[in-house]
Structure formats: C-alpha cells, structure tokens
Structure 1
Amino acid sequence: MKYAFLIPAALLGLSAVPAAAQDTAPPKPVTVSGSVGLVSDYRFRGVSQSDENLAVQGGFTIAHESGVYIGTWGSNLAGWGTFGGANMELDLIAGFKLPVGGGTLDVGATWYMYPGGFDNTDFIEPYVKLSGTAGPVNLTAGVAYAPKQEALGAWYTNGTSAAAGVYDKPGATGDNLYVWGDAAAAIPDTGLTAKAHVGYSSGNKGLGPFATSVAPTGEYADWLLGVDYAIPTTPLTLGVAYVDTNISDREAAYLQPSFSKGQDGVGSIANGKVVVSLTAAF
C-alpha cells in the first residue's frame, strides 16, 4: 500500500543500548522520517490514479518511542483518480505499533482526502498489519476494512450513467475490504532489494459519487514484482516494478469511459505496466 514507506522498519522497536556501547547516544523519544519522489504512474491497488502519467509524491511520519505515530502522504492525480478541486490526494495516517513475538503489530487508520473536491469522496479506512522476518526475507501481512460510507457507495451502476452525470442511486453507501501481503529481500553485494506484493479487494460493484471506485469491478486481485536499487552515498532509491490486476477489459467494460486513459473509453487503466520510481528518504 502506498503509505507503507512512511513508517520505516527502524521505528518498529528501539532496542536497548548494549553495555559495550555506553558512549552511544540513547534513542530519541520522538523521530521524524519521510520521503519525496517521482513515479511514472501512480497505481493504487493496481489501478492508475494519475491517468498513467507521472506523479509527484511525498510524506512524513512523526513517531514516539511508545509506538504511537502520525503521518501524512500526498500525490497529484489525473483522470480516474480525480475528484475535482486541486486534483490531489492527501492522506492523514495515525496508529500504534507494538512488538508481538518476533514481529511487530501495527494498528491504525488512513483518512483519504481530496482537497477542494467533493466532501462525500473522502473516506476512512482502519487497518491492521503484522510484519516480521523469515530468514533474509521481510514479510508483511495486512487487512484494511473501510466501513460503509458514501465515498464507497455505488451511486452510478455503469459508466454510461456517469458520463451523463445522472446518479442511479444518490446517497448510496458501501464498504470495502482489502487484504494484502508483501515480501522483500536484499540481494547480497548488489545494492538491490527484490520485492513482491499481492492484494485482494472486495467492495461495491459500481461507481461512487465522482465516478470512481475502490473496488471497480466489485472484487479483484492485484500484484507487483520488482526491484529497488539504493544508490550508494545518496538517500536515493531507484525502483522498477511490474504492476498488474486480474481485471479484464470485458469485466471493466461497464465502467467505461471512466476506466481508461484520457477517459476516452479505449483500453483499461488496470492492465499490466512497468512502473519506475525515484525516491529520496530523509
């Protein structure tokens, strides 16, 4: 998920200073971290939110040694992902982390906002994540459930109604479930980290109050395979990943013309694509 990078693994649990390192400064009670970057296509759960064009993204997190954290993350939007206004997504994130066994449990919520857009397109999504390691592999499993809200309701039953601007079910509410798993492993002596993601989304089949949807076809899967390269002596990371979904053109036909680049009704913004990113962490 897009907010994962905002909460570095270093904040998952600060260990005590070893006796042999008495001169080492103790961990700070409050830490700030974040990143800014460019991505060739902003894909949210496999679906383009930037009309398959470049997006500028960034955010930061403030974390307390108790495990409490707050953060924010933003990106420009285009095409399917826009809600009027500033054509921007701004997420507010808050949660709490605690050690569980050999891993870390993370419980929180994300408030998805679209500044200047319509109020009924904003929604909240609580989540639970469990992370840990298995040998050299870092693993994360998560579930996010957004309760019934207007932003997730099927106001339009098809793209034709959306194109005409005629609501089929104004005021409808809906919920959404997203379950995912991530894995990452460093490739020794290369500066490369291999990464993989798989997710499953289930929600209302239809289009919301501004002709978009978190689960466009009601139920679908998304996945990612890629590598990151940490550029030596810099805070920069170059990433390349193949992103795809199992949403076929036939399944997405009722969403058109919304579900296409330029909203011209041709093709799909959920087809497989190679996405390139350049990120600077701080």
Structure 2
Amino acid sequence: MHRPALTLFVACTFLPLAAHALTLTDDLQLMLKPAVVSDYRSRGLSLTLGDPAAQLDATLLHSSGAYGGVWTSNVDFGLNYKTRLEQDFYAGFFKQITDDVSLDVGYLKYTYARQSDFNQSEVYAIVKAYGFKFASYYSNDLQTYLGKDQDTLYTWLGYSYALPADTGLEVRYGRFDFKDDVFVSGSGDTRGDYHEWEARLTHSAVGVDWALAYIDTDLSTHECTSYYGYGDVCTATVVVSASKTF
C-alpha cells in the first residue's frame, strides 16, 4: 500500500506546473520520480520484509489542477504470497486556495500482480496550511481474514519545516483504524487500530533528494504477527532513500 505522502510532491509544486517536469503542451506536463529506499514502509509497516525497494512515480499534471498517474514498487509479503509487484493508479484535483493553504482530493487504486485479493481502493483528502498537513484516506473494500469489503480509515497529521542548506524536517503522526478487531495481543486482547509516526530529514545534493527517516508503530510483536504474519515488520527502523524528479 502506497506511502501516505502519495501526493506530497504534487501539493508542494503543483501550481504553477512543476519546474522539474517534462512539458507536453502549454497546459500539460509529465513528472517522473524514480526512487530507491532501504525499506519500503507504508503506514509504519514494511512491505518488503525490511529489504530495499526500487520505485517509480509517473504523474500527468494539468494547469487546471487535475492530475493522474501510476506509482509502482517491488514488494515482498513473505509466507506463500506470490506477488512481488505493487502498482497504484491515482487521479485527483489540487487547488491552491491561498499562498499558505491548499486542498488535494482524489482516488487511489492499489493493485498487486498475481495476488488480486490484496487489491484495494481509497478516496483521500489532504489539507495543507501554514506548514501543517492533515490527510484522511477511506476504503470500503479491504479484504482481511475476517471477510471482504472491510471499512478502513487512515488519518495523519504532519508538519514540514525548512532548514538551512536545502535541508528540511518533516514529522507525521497517523492512526489506521479497521472496521473489526484484527490485532491480537499476547494476552488475548484485541483491537482494531494502531498508531504510527515518522520523523524525516531531507536534503538536496548533486541533483538528488536524499532522506533519512525514523519510523515506528505502537503494535507489539504479537499483535503484528497476528495480522501480518511477522513480528518485525512493525518495529522501529531507520530508512534511507534517494529520489530524483524529472
């Protein structure tokens, strides 16, 4: 499942059309963003069992604020799951309301090759104001071991601050809420939600955007294993990444 900052780069550089993009027409541009990460973490969880991932984001941007694109990454869920590829298709609309306030709304479709039971869709809204960001993602077609079409709601609050020397600080705190209690603790207690957080330093050098992030969740090892099959995909980690926008 795609990282929560799916449209973050769009929200930062959308209007006017991004300077680092390929011009197709007067109103249409194509933005390409390849990236490598030491661990593909989504909502605090590793989707590569702690291994690195290569990713690519391709977005069409229109001067009206409309956009659409595809994001892809290798994945590894272990166990007997066959999929090794995630492809996310998205479309939305970005509106710069004032110099300091913007709204981004859209639709996401997650797809997994050879494992279509993992496919899922979401609608989302992201509000950015004075350095703060609030996002909400809702789905009603997640499939869990409790059945199909399970409702989920993922929300997060973040803040970005520009530091000297092309360096930035980003922090985020999120909550992922499932319709049913899918997490089981070692004592047998159950719950249907968890919290995750991230602190990230970013820096631009030699034409590449670098990032160093600390990521963690409040899921115990037993709770993590009860739903995801492994106890170490929810634990604290440091992720290093490099990306470049064309």
1:83 and 1:121 in contact (8 A); partners too: no
From 128, 143, 152, the equivalent of 1:153 is 143
Count of residue correspondences: 228
Q: Show the 5 A alignment for 1:223-234.
A: 223-232=197-206, 234=207
| Identical positions, percent | 25
From 33, 36, 39, the equivalent of 2:37 is 39
Q: Which residue of 2 aligns with 1:198?
A: 173
Q: Which residue of 1 aligns with 2:237?
A: 273
Which amino acid is the alignment partner of residue 12 of structure 2? A
The one-character-per-residue Cα deviations of 1:199-248 (angstroms, maximum 9, x if unpaired) are: 111013339xxxxxxxx96200111012011004x1x0111010000101
From 79, 84, 92, the equivalent of 2:89 is 92
Q: Which residue of 2 aligns with 1:19?
A: none
How far is the alpha carbon of 1:58 from its aligned partner?
1.1
Q: Which residue of 1 aligns with 2:127?
A: 130
* C-alpha separation in 2, matches of 1:2 and 1:218: 23
Post-superposition, which runs of at least 4 consecutive aligned residues in structure 1 deviate over 6 A? none
Q: Show the 5 A alignment for 1:183-222.
A: 183-188=159-164, 190-203=165-178, 204-206=180-182, 218-222=192-196
* C-alpha separation in 2, matches of 1:71 and 1:57: 14
From 41, 47, 54, the equivalent of 1:56 is 54
Would the alpha carbon gap of residues 2 and 9 (structure 1) be closer, same or farther in structure 2, given more than 3 Å must change?
closer
1:4 aligns with 2:7: yes
TM-score (norm 1): 0.74
Query: Structure 1 residues 216-225 or 102-111, which shifts more?
Result: 216-225
Would the alpha carbon gap of residues 144 and 248 (structure 1) be closer, same or farther in structure 2, given more than 3 Å must change?
same
User: SS of 2:13's equivalent?
Assistant: helix
User: SS of 2:226's equivalent?
Assistant: helix
2:11 and 2:94 in contact (8 A); partners too: no
1:6 and 1:35 in contact (8 A); partners too: no
Q: Which residue of 1 aligns with 2:220?
A: 248
Which amino acid is the alignment partner of residue 227 of structure 1? L
Give the gaps of 5 or more residues in structure 1: 16-26, 156-168, 208-215, 261-266
How far is the alpha carbon of 1:112 from its aligned partner?
0.3
Would the alpha carbon gap of residues 253 and 78 (structure 1) be closer, same or farther in structure 2, given more than 3 Å must change?
closer
Would the alpha carbon gap of residues 80 and 139 (structure 1) be closer, same or farther in structure 2, given more than 3 Å must change?
farther
User: SS of 2:219's equivalent?
Assistant: coil
1:154 and 1:205 in contact (8 A); partners too: no
TM-score (norm 2): 0.84
User: SS of 1:254's equivalent?
Assistant: helix
Give 1 or 2: higher strand fraction: 2
Which amino acid is the alignment partner of residue 244 of structure 1? D
Give the gaps of 5 or more residues in structure 2: 18-24, 184-189
Would the alpha carbon gap of residues 200 and 82 (structure 1) be closer, same or farther in structure 2, given more than 3 Å must change?
farther
1:178 aligns with 2:154: yes
* C-alpha separation in 2, matches of 1:100 and 1:83: 44
